[in-house]
Amino acid sequence: MSEPPLHPDVEPLAFLLGTWRGEGAGHYPTVADFTYTEEITFGHVGKPMLTYRQQTRDAVTGEPRHAEVGYWRVTGPGVLEVVLAHPTGVTEVSEGTFDGGAIEVATTQLAATSTAKEVTELRRHIQVDGDTLRYDLEMAAVGQPLTHHLEATLHRIS
């Protein structure tokens, strides 16, 4: 099936489209520091949202670690919403703003299955400059306050 045209609602986020690969580092009070590789793909099907999937792998062993899938929507000038599922049994609803290549979103709702670890807040700071995407993620979880957790730099490969 040929690719449909990008829906005009998400044209302001067109700078995200494509597949990105890079490396990141994580730390948190409850775990040992770690490094990872990451691949992120933003796509679309012609509807008013971007599709999003992400997979990280252990930088040493290559084994899959975290992943996320979901959708990004623009709901007004410089305003966006993100809905994600995490394989840990958590769903994330985040809302925020974008200005040029700078995106700031924070969770407005987090839901979880009965067996999932408690996550209470996520804040994502993303900066895209051409084919380079950098992000920082802050997390409040398992009783810890909002704490810087992840930073990564990725490059667009397609």
Contact residues toward a copy of itself (CB under 8 A) are 1, 4, 45-47, 49, 51, 53, 55, 62-64, 67, 69-71, 73, 75, 81, 83-87, 89-93, 95, 108-116
Closest to 123 measured CA to CA, from 103, 106, 99, 143:
106
Dihedral sign from CA coordinates of 103, 106, 108, 114: positive
Tell me the closest approach of the beta carbon of residue 132 to a copy of itself, in angstroms: 25
Tell me the closest approach of the beta carbon of residue 85 to a copy of itself, in angstroms: 4
Nearer to a copy of itself, 26 or 92 (CB): 92
Nearer to a copy of itself, 86 or 124 (CB): 86
Dihedral sign from CA coordinates of 18, 23, 28, 30: positive
Count of helix runs (H) and strand runs (E) in the chain: 0, 10
Tell me the closest approach of the beta carbon of residue 114 to a copy of itself, in angstroms: 6
Nearer to a copy of itself, 95 or 136 (CB): 95
Q: Could you say which DSSP state residue 78 is in?
A: T
Tell me the closest approach of the beta carbon of residue 76 to a copy of itself, in angstroms: 9
- Taking the alpha carbons at both ends of the chain, their separation in whole angstroms is 19
Residue length, the chain?
A: 158
Nearer to a copy of itself, 29 or 64 (CB): 64
